[in-house]
Amino acid sequence: MKKVSLIALSALFVLSGCGAESQEVVLRKEPIPAVESVQEAGKEEASSGDQSDGSGAEGAITQEQALEAIKNYCLANNPDLEGMADSEDYTTYFDVSTNENGEIVVLFRSYTAAQIRYYVDPATGEVYVTELVPGIIDDEQKTDETFNIKDYMGGSAKAPANEGSASGARQDGERFEDVIMLEGMEEIVKYEHVVNAGLGFEIDYDYESLVRKSDSGKESFISIYDDVNSPENYLEVEYRPENIDSVTASISDELSKDYELYIDTYELDHAGNCTRIDASACVGGEVMPEHLQKVYIVPAGNGTIVGTAHYSIESAEGFGHFFDYMINTLIVNA
């Protein structure tokens, strides 16, 4: 039986550009098409005496199971989504349907406006993924991302922790390998450990993807594809002598001139609780920002360590997530 099933995490909003040269991508509210669902107890089923429990014929994966598993998968690879789900500052939602080929299709609308579709084989659980970003990738394109949905059924799966990525026993320049989840796939990362005794912190970076640039007051880690003197995708880490409340207020005041901000408390694996400022939506809300920022403000004695990730909207699912992993290796030695 066909019915409508929509999982909405927040009201649709429209993002606005930052600066005169921002690429303007207007997002218009569009109706969500009707999809097949097995959740509603329709009158036809009641009259026919069908007591379906949603388990599917012959063990096939149902829409409800696929939807919950994809949610688990997305949260495992991007834990920030859990906080965004209850926030009015972000537009994220899931939708589920069945296409004419019998595949279950779970649509995830990211806060970046990307539309990610997960195509699930209900018999085997195998999944392939497509992506569409209005104004950037206008045609649905298949990605290299594949997995089996059964790995994420029956509970919330967790992304692998970065155990040992920042142990406090490594020397500056020491290299090692670790495995992270990036864009839904396991990726081996070749890290180099950084010890900056003067600024009071340690951190790991991918020396194959990033270039380290050390200045007197900060460390910067810049994409190898960018000009180091004018980078687009980079993470900078610095020490500030002010306390966390003062630094948070100062940075928030500056960013709020151009961005709508989402501020929360976030726990890092090695550095403990910090204040996180997410600047991924511009003031006004009509077009998408061209560049995004995410700031981590970590207590360090009487001062703070501030890590700021800068990345383009096109790199939000790549460098944006990678910088999250990287900042999670931070050790504060103050």
* pLDDT, mean of residues 127-156: 82
Distance CA 102, CA 16 (A): 38
Per-residue pLDDT for 330 more than 50? Answer: yes
Tokens 């989402």 found at? 262
CA–CA gap between residue 293 and residue 256 (Å, rounded):
12
Q: How far apart are CA 299 and CA 239, in angstroms?
A: 10
**Alpha carbon separation from 22 to 6, 110, 284, 292 (Å, rounded):** 32, 20, 14, 12
Measured distance CA(52)–CA(44) in Å, rounded: 12
Given a cut of 60, whether residue 253 has pLDDT beyond it is yes
Question: Is residue 324 scored above 70 in pLDDT?
Answer: yes
Average pLDDT over residues 237-249: 95
Residue 203 has pLDDT above 60, yes or no: yes
pLDDT for 80 equals: 66
Query: pLDDT confidence of 239, banded at 50, 70, 90?
Result: very high
16-75 pLDDT, tens per residue?
Answer: 344 434 333 333 334 434 334 333 333 343 333 343 334 445 578 999 999 999 988 888
Residue 4, both tokens? 């409508």
Q: What confidence score (pLDDT) does residue 220 get?
A: 95
Higher model confidence: residue 82 or residue 24?
82
Confidence category of residue 85, pLDDT binned at 50, 70, 90: low
Strands (E), 253-302: 259-268, 272-282, 291-300
Residue with tokens 């970046």: 112
- Specify which residues 107 forms β-bridges with: 95, 117
Phi, psi at 100, each rounded to 5°: -70, -15
Q: Closest Cα partner for 291 from 13, 15, 104? A: 15
The enclosing H or E element of 52 equals: none
Of the ranges 162-166, 168-172, 220-224, 313-317, which one carries the lowest mean pLDDT score? 162-166
| Buried-exposed string 250-272: b where 16+ CB fall within 10 A, e elsewhere | ebbeebeebbbbbbeebebebbe
Ramachandran angles phi, psi of 314, nearest 5°: -70, -25
Structure-token pair, residue 254: 């500056």
Which long-range contacts (C-beta less than 8 Å, at least 24 apart) are formed by 161-165? Answer: 161/269, 162/269, 162/325, 162/328, 162/329, 165/191, 165/204, 165/328, 165/329
- Could you give the CA distance from residue 334 to residue 326 in angstroms, rounded to a whole number? 19
pLDDT at 281: 79
Q: In which band, very low, low, confident or very high, does the pLDDT at 249 lie, cut at 50, 70 and 90?
A: very high
Look at 132 and 157; give whichever has higher pLDDT: 132
d(CA 4, CA 96): 9
Considering the chain, what percentage of its residues have pLDDT values greater than 90? 41
Average pLDDT of the residues of the chain: 77
pLDDT of 104 > 70? The answer is yes
What architecture (CATH level 2) is domain 175-332? 3-Layer(aba) Sandwich (3.40)
User: For position 183, what pLDDT does the model report?
Assistant: 60
Query: According to the model, what pLDDT value does residue 308 have?
Result: 97
C-alpha distances (whole Å) from 120 to each of 32, 125, 244, 265, 283 are 20, 6, 45, 35, 37
Element (H, E) at 253: helix 244-255
Task: Quote the strand ranges of the chain, DSSP E.
Answer: 6-8, 93-98, 104-109, 115-120, 126-133, 137-148, 175-182, 185-196, 201-206, 210-214, 218-223, 234-240, 259-268, 272-282, 291-300, 303-312, 331-332
Sequence ranges of the domains in the chain: 6-152, 175-332
